[in-house]
Homo-oligomer: A and B are copies of this chain.
Amino acid sequence: MAGYISDAVIRRLPAYYRHLRELEDAGVKQISSQDLGDRMQLTPSQIRQDINTFGGFGRQGYGYPVTELKEHIRAIMGLDHEHRMVIIGGGRMGRAIASYAGFAREGFPTVALFDQDTVRIQMSTEALPVYPVAELEERLPGMAAKIVVLALPAEAAQEMLERVYSLGIRAVWNFAPADLVYPRDMTVMNVHLSDSLHILSYRINQQEEDARS
Report A's interface with B, CB cutoff 8 A: 1, 10-11, 13-15, 17-19, 22, 40-41, 76-79, 83, 92-93, 96-97, 99-103, 106-108, 146-147, 154, 170-171, 173, 177-179, 185, 187, 189, 191-205, 207-209
Contacts and interface: CB of A to CB of B under 8 A. Distances in A.
A177 B93 CA distance: 20
Nearest to A76: B202
B92 A13 contact: no
A71 B171 CA distance: 35
A208 B108 CA distance: 17
B10 A202 contact: yes
B40 A147 contact: no
Nearest to A103: B197
A15 B202 CA distance: 13
Nearest first, the 6 closest Cβ-Cβ pairs linking A and B are A78-B205, A96-B96, A14-B195, A187-B203, A14-B198, A77-B202
Given A78-B202, A83-B201, A187-B203, 12 more contacts: A10-B203, A18-B177, A18-B195, A78-B205, A78-B208, A92-B99, A93-B102, A108-B197, A146-B204, A147-B204, A171-B207, A187-B207
A206 to B, nearest CB: 8
Contacts of A205: 76-78
B83 A93 contact: no
The count of identical subunits is 2
Given A192-B14, A202-B10, A202-B13, A41 B197 contact: no
Contact of A201 (B77, B197, B208): B77
A39 to B, nearest CB: 8
12 contacts: A10-B199, A14-B192, A17-B198, A18-B179, A40-B179, A76-B205, A77-B201, A79-B198, A92-B100, A96-B97, A108-B197, A108-B201
Nearest to A17: B198
Contacts of A189: 196-197, 199-200
The interface centre, meaning the residue of A1, A10, A92, A199 with most chain B CB atoms within 10 A of its CB, is A199
A6 B154 CA distance: 27
